[in-house]
Amino acid sequence: TPSDRDGHSSTQSSHRLLAYSDALISIIATVMILPVAHTKIQEDEELTESLQQLISTKVAVYLMTFLIVTVAWAAHIRLFQVIEHIDDCLALLNLACMMLITFLPYTFSLMATFPENTLGILLFCTCVIVIGMIQAIIVVYGFSRPFLLNEQIQMSENPAFYKWHILKVISKVPVLCMLAVIFSFIFSPVSYVLLAIVIFLRYISLSARWCYGKATGRLEEPADSMVFYTYHPDEPLSKERVEAFSDGVYAIVATLLILDICEDNVPDPKVVQEKFSGSLVDALKEFGPEFLAYFGSFATVGLLWFVHHSLFLHVTRATHLMGLFNTFSLAFVGGLPLAYQLTHEFARNSRNELEAIQISCVIIFFAGLFQLAIWVTALFGERSALHPYVRFAGRDHAFMFAKLALYPCVALGTFVLTCVLSRFSAPIFHLMEITVPFVFLLLRLLVSAGLSLLRRLLSSIRRAMR
Amino acid sequence: TPSDRDGHSSTQSSHRLLAYSDALISIIATVMILPVAHTKIQEDEELTESLQQLISTKVAVYLMTFLIVTVAWAAHIRLFQVIEHIDDCLALLNLACMMLITFLPYTFSLMATFPENTLGILLFCTCVIVIGMIQAIIVVYGFSRPFLLNEQIQMSENPAFYKWHILKVISKVPVLCMLAVIFSFIFSPVSYVLLAIVIFLRYISLSARWCYGKATGRLEEPADSMVFYTYHPDEPLSKERVEAFSDGVYAIVATLLILDICEDNVPDPKVVQEKFSGSLVDALKEFGPEFLAYFGSFATVGLLWFVHHSLFLHVTRATHLMGLFNTFSLAFVGGLPLAYQLTHEFARNSRNELEAIQISCVIIFFAGLFQLAIWVTALFGERSALHPYVRFAGRDHAFMFAKLALYPCVALGTFVLTCVLSRFSAPIFHLMEITVPFVFLLLRLLVSAGLSLLRRLLSSIRRAMR
């Protein structure tokens, strides 16, 4: 469109660059789930303590890298809210930045595997510092060509103020990492504390501010953040980019199991000839559980995406707290395929199988619960974050609530049932997998029926009261 | 936005659904490259004939599944050009359709591995037929709720005509597959011919029509296709969706190597203690070649994305032929990480290393050449497909041409150089990897300098002529 080229012939809209960056970052955020997935587990064997420890370490590394990458992603959003147009030079600098972000999971897992070795912490911090430097270059370059900037900053009287402000915001994390590098030579525990601050600072300050806001009754954001809407450090996240990032995570997680199936589960012709006397059907039957796991995980991830999609149709503005809950929800979604895979790797009715099924329920429960939390935050925290027709009680409101509450309720129910009827845990779980998609298809009908039932009940009570 | 809800409270814009579908389909299209990537190759050994055959089979399976998935993707585009709004039911049906598309690569590779077994062909065709049935249900559902349809069809006098037309278009491939199933019981070679027709028919008819158009001088599309712009079977592809699909492929291909690095190349603490006497640096040095390969492939894929991005900024409308060249370019891009990985797996100066480097050059060459072909098609075939300022000679035109021609030229040059100086092939290749990003950074300067040089040359010639 001609608007891509307003002002300067080499200026481009940053839309596609950001979409590509979101796709890259969402893949990188979920990459550390693969080492968890491919941990070899002996069948029919109780999980030994050492193996349990190994898996929990890997899960911890996965969750931490997910958070780290989302911190980098949040910084990327902020940067490109200031710089709204790009040229070739910025596109190339951004690619360099992306490449360094892809190293974050690797260097972090080096650090986690060799905690007493300073090399891990050194590499990780170098990555973060170089990313910060490239982002600083992008800012300086952008401010030297004002037509690339956000319009509000372009028209402001004192752009240098914003330049220093955004540079200060961007340099916070690299400076902390620089300190961590220095301390790693002197007294390494301090550097780990510093890195923990880097990762959690945003979340702690966010929760603290939210609690403080609740306590003092200041529900609305300060007025100046509304004026300086798009570049202020406290500005809400870009809704589009939250959606793009979430789509990427859901897409890669949904296909995680089929990647393995396509690679490993095409039987070898020789094996089929020797072991199954040429019967391909028998050979494929062996892989039945894998396909069932794939079906279950794709359906669950797909439906959670569907709920997310419905939710964000009604959201007008994504705040930081909503972004936080979204990140947590996505981190749990990332673990889903593995949990489903585990449910089929163990012998029937073994303790491991029951545990795997219950873990799956817990993961679904939390993934769904954090989605519900996004909605609740939007409902209560920020009046401007939702469309009015879902905010106020009514049919749309009830329908949205039913959609969001379905998975947490089902997961909780399945969990309780498997505790009570532990012998039938696998059939219960599979029944749940198959039923839920149909419940979603009929949800609108069910909610309508439920509402009319409720209305009739209420009116009959009222009549009885009279 | 309020426009999401025009007409009916449950109607939604299909934008995000399509973005998510594009992300899923692009991952599925590239999945069969993984079995090629993970083929074990003994070091220092000439590639034996059987291994070469195995790899070429796997590469063929990759290319075929890539084409099959893009055929399914093209059908998906056509379907959602007719149905422009969605509701919950359509979103869920689309998810079911996506799940079946993810099985296409697997069933196809089963068919390729067991060509004499009818089960493979049966499963593949069942998949295709069920996808077709779900799409037919989507069409019937959409036409039963006209507010979901494309506005032009909504306003037309005879929507039933369009309904049967689109159903006919959609059912073509499933009917061919049905015939293939029937013939697989009678005489199986016929069914393979039918499947080949399914995959290539679109391309053959497209090229034939293009050649015919060239021969008879009918450069413009027939007038009626311009009137019925968005739902006609000959309509151009949706530019947005071509971009989204390409972004997905570039993103997953760029990160393909880091997935392996994150998983396999974190050294085991015990091994480091025993083999490298506790020195992590020595242990990591072992992985040096992997990191170099990752750097090279990420940079090349990223820069090819950059060229693609620049090209599509100038494209106003994607025609089928451009989509075809784009698919070919992406299929070559998918092979890049492997080619780069291979360049470092063999001993220095072995014949295998030279071959791997030359294969990398060939892949880069074709990936770039097909991008150039997209531009040339847009330039000559369809006057309305490009912005005027790149279409006509001038600074932007020269700059775009330089961008597109850079990779093919560099790849060709490197190929020729490695043939002549085969002893220095590895250093030449690495030098190319490092230089190209900087050339891109300075390209605008170089083109300006080149143009002014040319102009001076021309004017001095003209003066000499006078």
Instruction: State yes or no: pLDDT of B153 exceeds 60.
Output: yes
pLDDT band per the 50, 70, 90 thresholds, residue A131: very high
10 Å Cβ neighbour count for B12? 20
The proportion of chain B whose per-residue pLDDT surpasses 90, expressed as a percent, equals 20
The single residue listed with the structure tokens 């999945």 is B31
pLDDT of residue B195: 84
With CA atoms as reference, report the closest residue to B407 among B378, B382, B433, B386.
B433
Q: Which of residues 225-284 of B touch A (CB under 8 A)?
A: 243-244, 247-248, 250-252, 254-255, 258-259, 261-263, 265-267, 269, 272, 280-281, 284
> Would you call A389 an interface residue with chain B, using a CB distance cutoff of 8 Å?
yes
As a residue count, chain B comes to 466
Subunit contact A437:B91, Cβ cutoff 8 A: no
Q: Which of residues 76-115 of A touch B (CB under 8 A)?
A: 88-89, 91-92, 95-96, 98-99, 102-103, 105-106, 109-110, 113-114
Q: In the structure encoding, which two tokens stand for residue B5, read together?
A: 């809800």
Mean pLDDT, rounded, of chain B? 82
pLDDT of residue B408: 93
Give the distance from CA B240 to its chain's centroid.
Answer: 14
Question: Of all helices (H) and strands (E), which one includes residue B86?
Answer: strand B85-86
The proportion of chain A whose per-residue pLDDT surpasses 70, expressed as a percent, equals 90
pLDDT band per the 50, 70, 90 thresholds, residue A231: very low
Subunit contact A312:B16, Cβ cutoff 8 A: yes
Q: In the structure encoding, which two tokens stand for residue A83, read together?
A: 């710089």
Cβ contacts (< 8 Å) between B20 and chain A: which residues? 247, 250-251, 305, 309
CA distance B420 to chain A (A): 32
Cα dihedral B61/B66/B69/B71 (nearest 10): -110
Subunit contact A114:B34, Cβ cutoff 8 A: no
Rounded alpha-carbon distances, angstroms, from residue B435 to B254, B356, B405: 19, 20, 16
Cβ contacts (< 8 Å) between B23 and chain A: which residues? 23, 247-248, 251-252
pLDDT of residue A207: 74
Q: Report whether A263 contacts B38 (CB < 8 A).
A: yes
Rounded alpha-carbon distances, angstroms, from residue A368 to A10, A305, A340, A377: 45, 10, 16, 14
Distance, CA of B466 to CA of B463 (rounded, Å): 5
Summarize the confidence of residues B144-165 as an average pLDDT.
Answer: 83
Q: In sequence order, what E strands does A265-326 have?
A: none
> Would you call B313 an interface residue with chain A, using a CB distance cutoff of 8 Å?
yes
Q: In the structure encoding, which two tokens stand for residue A465, read together?
A: 């009261």
Subunit contact A250:B113, Cβ cutoff 8 A: no
CA distance B371 to chain A (A): 18
pLDDT of residue A132: 92
Please state the pTM of the whole predicted model: 0.88
Distance, CA of B278 to CA of B288 (rounded, Å): 18
Q: How many CA atoms lie within 13 A of B111 on its CB side?
A: 28
pLDDT of residue B97: 92
The proportion of chain B whose per-residue pLDDT surpasses 70, expressed as a percent, equals 90
User: Looking at the predicted complex, does its ipTM rise above 0.95?
Assistant: no
pLDDT of residue B127: 92
Q: Which of residues 19-48 of A touch B (CB under 8 A)?
A: 19-20, 23-24, 27-28, 31-32, 34-35, 38
pLDDT of residue B218: 54
Question: pLDDT tens-digit profile of B172-216?
Answer: 888 988 888 888 888 878 888 888 888 777 777 777 777 777 777
Name the least confident of A56-70, A270-284, B37-51, B381-395.
B37-51
Q: Which of residues 177-236 of B touch A (CB under 8 A)?
A: none
Instruction: State yes or no: pLDDT of A398 exceeds 60.
Output: yes
pLDDT of residue B9: 52
Cβ contacts (< 8 Å) between A441 and chain B: which residues? 88-89, 92
Q: How many CA atoms lie within 13 A of B296 on its CB side?
A: 25
10 Å Cβ neighbour count for A256? 24
CA distance A83 to chain B (A): 18
10 Å Cβ neighbour count for A102? 24
Rounded alpha-carbon distances, angstroms, from residue A268 to A38, A265, A274, A284, B140: 21, 9, 10, 11, 42
10 Å Cβ neighbour count for B198? 21
Backbone angles phi, psi at B184, to 5 degrees: -65, -25
User: In sequence order, which residues have a C-beta less than 8 Å from that of residue A55 and are 6 or more positions away?
Assistant: A36, A39, A47
Q: Report whether B124 contacts B194 (CB < 8 A).
A: no
CA distance B466 to chain A (A): 36
pLDDT of residue B246: 92
> Shortest CB distance from A263 goes to which of B17, B34, B313?
B34
Question: pLDDT tens-digit profile of A290-327?
Answer: 888 888 889 999 999 999 998 988 888 788 788 889 99
Instruction: State yes or no: pLDDT of A273 exceeds 90.
Output: no
Q: Chain A residue with minimal CA distance to B105?
A: A262
Q: What is the largest CA-CA distance in chain B?
A: 81
